[in-house]
Amino acid sequence: AVVQSLRANPYEEAFKGFKSVGKATVTRIFLSEATAEEELKRLQAIRPDVVLAIGMDALARVRDLRDIPIVYVMVLSPDAVSPGERRMTGVNMTISPERQLAILLEALPQTRKIGLLYDPNRTGQMAKRVRTAAEMRGISLIAGEVHRSKEVPTSIMRMRGQIDIFWMLPDLTVVTPETVDFLLLFALENHTPIFTFSEKYVELGALLSVGVDPFDMGCQAGEMVDRILSGGDVSTIPRGEARKVVVTVNMK
């Protein structure tokens, strides 16, 4: 059974990738088209061998199903939904900071100081990994904690003149429609490029993005599902990160 948060294009691409490698008979349920009670009744009636959850909302909805292995995809922070759950595995949307930093330095090898804002309750662990990756390359990380979106403008202004580039994490506290406008204006006025996680921000003025490939992530999840259907134990299949990245450069 495939439980999908909504019919968004990235989720559809992930499903196509899953179908391209999977051999199972599939029943798909969209959360946007069913109430929670109806959906759970359908899952219980289907009695699937494996549940594939596409999106954070889908994972949150199916996490309490008992005795059914769960594979997730297109989820940024699965541990926030169900930390350490042994009957669950999948592919999260994180690309290792080490890999991202290598791409950044290939584009801007003169980078010595990186600015970063993060909400410790959302991306605190990611910020720690970024700091470790930066220190290993002799780069200074100037990081600021924010707990509310309205703190972002003041926090980024404190970095003016101190950073070579600003690293935008996929943090829902830091990145909102209002804060993105301010961050892009800051970048323009202070000649400070932005390194981000989505092509859409490059279209708005960021310099470089390193994003995921939803189709390939779906393929990864499909491979995990096939291992479970072939008799594999879900607890022995390690959770993974996106293996394929999409790099977009703002040529303007």
What is the per-residue pLDDT across 160-185, written as a single tens digit (0 to 9) for each? 999 999 999 988 899 999 999 999 99
Instruction: Determine which helix (DSSP H) or strand (DSSP E) holds 224, and give its type and residue range.
Output: helix 214-229
What is the per-residue pLDDT across 10-46, written as a single tens digit (0 to 9) for each? 999 999 999 999 778 898 988 876 666 677 777 878 8
What is the per-residue pLDDT across 198-252, written as a single tens digit (0 to 9) for each? 999 999 999 999 999 999 999 999 999 999 999 999 999 999 989 899 999 999 8
Beta bridge partners of 4: 30, 54
The three-state secondary structure class of 74 is: strand
Q: Please, which residues have CB within 8 angstroms of residue 239's CB and are 6 or more apart in sequence?
A: 78, 89, 90, 91, 92
User: What confidence score (pLDDT) does residue 82 get?
Assistant: 65
Quote the distance between the C-alpha of residue 26 and its chain's center: 25
User: What confidence score (pLDDT) does residue 87 get?
Assistant: 86
- Report the alpha-carbon distance of residue 241 to residue 94 in Å, rounded: 6
Percent residues over pLDDT 90 in the chain: 71
Assess whether pLDDT exceeds 90 at residue 52. Answer: yes
Vertex 181, ends 119 and 102: CA angle to 5°?
60
Assess whether pLDDT exceeds 70 at residue 8. Answer: yes
Residues in the chain: 252
- Report the alpha-carbon distance of residue 143 to residue 68 in Å, rounded: 41
